[in-house]
Amino acid sequence: MDTIIVDEELCTKCGICSEACPISIIDPAGDEKFPEVREENSGKCIRCGHCEAFCPKGALILNFRPEEKEILPEGAGEIPEKEIGFYLKKRRSARTYKTKSVPREKIEELLEVASYAPSAENGQPVEWIVVHDPEKVRRIGDLTVEWMKTFIGSDHPASGFFAALAGIYEGGHDVICRGAPHMLFNHIPEDRPVAQVDGIIAMTYFDVAAPAAGIGTCWAGFVAMAAAEYEPLKKEIGIPAGRKCSYAMMFGYPKHSIHSIPRRDPVKVTWI
């Protein structure tokens, strides 16, 4: 089976597909031939789609679900620099939520966007668990505090901090899941260390896309730490054998709106 499909009527033999291929397996066009991937190189393709994405004439398609090819409308995805700056600076962690649930269809749309996050060699190792039931989110909070309490009185550097958080939580103030109606986990193969970064990048895509859908998010660091090592919590959320939690995020419709952008310290940078 051919790795790429070239429309010979549209192809101008510009060579961009060959230059864009990160694995350098596309032989450039010549006077008598069009771009091609030789059979001995077909197994090296990582299905990243660069060849297809960068073709200015839409003359090439990766032979992977070709019926789903999506052509960008003119100007689609082009956000003015100032607007993207406002959008990203406006993003705040949501720690107060409405009780209204986010529809599953909307969550699936955001996860489909997150599936386009870059991963090493386009390995796409990230899988997701959505905790949609608010009562199960509360259970996750309980188990996270249970995990924290295993360190109280030990020489763990966070022992005292965990004791304080556990006391606040058990006093009725949810400092773990912040009353969020939903929780999102992603998990990765245990035998791929670099996949930890892939998981965090994918979660960041979800985090960045969510406000456009009116959804607030907050990185659930305590929950993520517990889910990576506490067996009762792993069992509760269903982390499969051979995989581990990469990160966790609480989300839902935020209770409050954002009206200004706070300051940050000056950027520290070294130019070389």
For residue 209, what pLDDT band results from cuts at 50, 70 and 90? very high
Task: Identify the structural domains of the chain with CATH numbers, from first to last.
Answer: 4-68 (3.30.70.20), 89-252 (3.40.109.10)
What are the residue ranges of helices labelled H in 173-249? 195-209, 221-229, 231-237
Q: At what angle do helices 134-149 and 159-170 cross, to 10 degrees?
A: 140
Amino acid found at 172: G
- CA gap 157, 225 in Å, rounded: 14
- State the Rg of the chain over Cα: 23
DSSP assigned state of 263:
-
pTM above 0.75, yes or no: yes
Strands 182-189 and 127-131: antiparallel
Q: Indicate whether 68 pLDDT > 90.
A: no
Residue 236 pLDDT = 98
Q: Indicate whether 26 pLDDT > 90.
A: yes
For residue 70, what pLDDT band results from cuts at 50, 70 and 90? confident
Q: Indicate whether 7 pLDDT > 90.
A: yes
- Contact indicator for 25, 45 with CB cutoff of 8 Å: yes
Give CA angle at 205 (179, 46), nearest 5°.
140
Task: Give the H/E segment covering residue 19.
Answer: helix 16-20
Lowest-confidence region among 75-79, 119-123, 135-139: 75-79
